[in-house]
Amino acid sequence: MKRNTLLNTVILAAFLAGCAQSQSKADVAKVDDSSPGSAAVSLTDFAERTVTFEHPPERIVALSNGEMDIIYELGGELVGRPNSNRTIAINEAKNVEEVGSTHSVDLEKITALQPDVVLGNHPMNTKDIPAIEGTGAQVILTGANSVDDIKKQVELFGKLLRKEDKSKEIIDNIENKVDEVQASQSGERPRVLLVYGAPGTNMAALPNSLSGNLLELAGGENIASDFPGLDSYPQYAQLNTERIIEANPEIILLMSHGNPEEVKDSFLNEMKKNTGWNDLEAVKNDRFVILPSDLFGTNPGTRVTESLEFLQEIFKELK
């Protein structure tokens, strides 16, 4: 049991570090002007680092799924992709070499692939910059705590690959989906508790997280919106059962990277200890939804439109 608890703690820390950033960087990343007719590309990433290429990079490594998705949607391809224990949605990437992840970079494999650029996470991979650059590759750091951040990633990578027209098309598609989802909303917003869980550990997602932003865009009211964020992971808060019972959520959404039923059981066992839990609308109506891990909790890239649609359908069922 102690071994499982330790493993879950490590997984939780890695997950939250990958998802949590102290503030949105959507207004930071930009593309610097290059000389007309020049093949050179100069970018400023989410860490406010200026990165310059003599020509658009051809050998690209991505350390997380969101960046991988965006590159392929732009018409590019990778020589190295993040490790995965589930089926890869992108057929072209299935046989691409795995190079670890934002949590654990495999420098040996990256060195062998000789990439022009490695796409990492800000701030998680800041510490890895010297080692990655030591392999001869440049590093671009981005992240996603909101849909606007994902749009900024698309724009940045579009400039990197000189696929500006395609990036604009993708951004327009995301914006159109947001508009469509919001236009369909009417009446009261359903009260929602959004939980990230691992067996023995549960936290509430706040509006400044990607999943929290999606929740609000899809028309939900995050009952934990004013919970104090954790010092280490400000996009998440400790569960406050007393305040949850007072807010009386109509739906409880669960995110997990482990066994979803185990996570649900762990969460319920923790909450059932409190008087008043069984009187919650979500509990009385058995409205517990386990969210797909490829669409929530981590950056889904351009599939963020599917994340919005998923939540939209859930909320429609209450009407």
Q: What is the pLDDT of residues 21-56, one digit of tens each?
A: 434 444 445 545 455 556 899 999 999 999 999 999
The predicted model gives 140-164 an average pLDDT of: 97
pLDDT, position 6 = 44
* pLDDT, average across residues 214-231: 97
pLDDT attached to residue 261? 79
Q: Could you give the C-alpha distances from 174 to 114, 162, 250, 304, 306, in angstroms and in order?
A: 33, 20, 28, 8, 10
Same fold, 22-182 and 191-316: yes
Q: Kindly state the DSSP code that residue 105 receives in the 8-state scheme.
A: B
Catalogue the long-range contacts made by 228-233 (C-beta closer than 8 Å, 24 or more residues apart).
230/203, 232/16, 232/20, 233/16, 233/17, 233/19, 233/20, 233/203
d(CA 304, CA 306): 5
pLDDT, tens digit, 9 for 90 and up, residues 226-238: 999 999 889 999 9
Distance, in Å, from the CA atom of 154 to the CA atom of 240, rounded to the nearest integer, reads: 36
Domain topology for 22-182: Rossmann fold (3.40.50)
Would you state the pLDDT for residue 262?
80
pLDDT at residue 10 above 60? no
Whole-angstrom distance, CA of residue 222 vs CA of residue 236: 12
Evaluate if residue 19 carries a pLDDT over 70: no
Neighbour count for residue 47 (Cβ, 10 Å): 21
Residue spans per domain, the chain: 22-182, 191-316
For range 269-277, the mean pLDDT: 85
Per the structure block, which two tokens stand in for 51? Answer: 């990165």
CA 263/CA 112 separation, integer angstroms:
38
* Beta carbons within 8 Å of 39's beta carbon, 6+ residues apart: 54, 55, 56
pLDDT at 171 over 50: yes
Confidence class for position 220, pLDDT limits 50, 70, 90: very high
Q: Is cis: bond before 190, omega within 30 of 0?
A: no
Question: What is the pLDDT, as a whole number, of residue 233?
Answer: 85
The per-residue pLDDT for 251 is: 97
| Confidence label for 185 from pLDDT (cuts 50, 70 and 90) | very high
Q: What is the CATH number of domain 191-316?
A: 3.40.50.1980
Give me the mean pLDDT over the 257-272 stretch.
79
What does the alpha-carbon distance between residue 150 and residue 238 come to, in Å, rounded to a whole number?
26
Taking residues 119-148, what's their average pLDDT?
A: 97
State the pLDDT at residue 238: 94
Please write the tens of the pLDDT for every residue from 187-213: 889 999 999 987 668 899 999 999 999
Q: What is the mean pLDDT of residues 123-128?
A: 96
Please determine, for residue 5, whether its predicted confidence score (pLDDT) is greater than 50: no
**More confident of the two residues 143 and 23:** 143
Task: Return the pLDDT at 37.
Answer: 54
- Average confidence (pLDDT) over 78-94: 91
| Helix (H/G/I), strand (E/B), else coil: 224 | coil
* β-bridge mates for residue 198, sequence order: 201
Looking at residue 283, its pLDDT comes to: 94
In this model, does residue 302 exceed pLDDT 50? yes
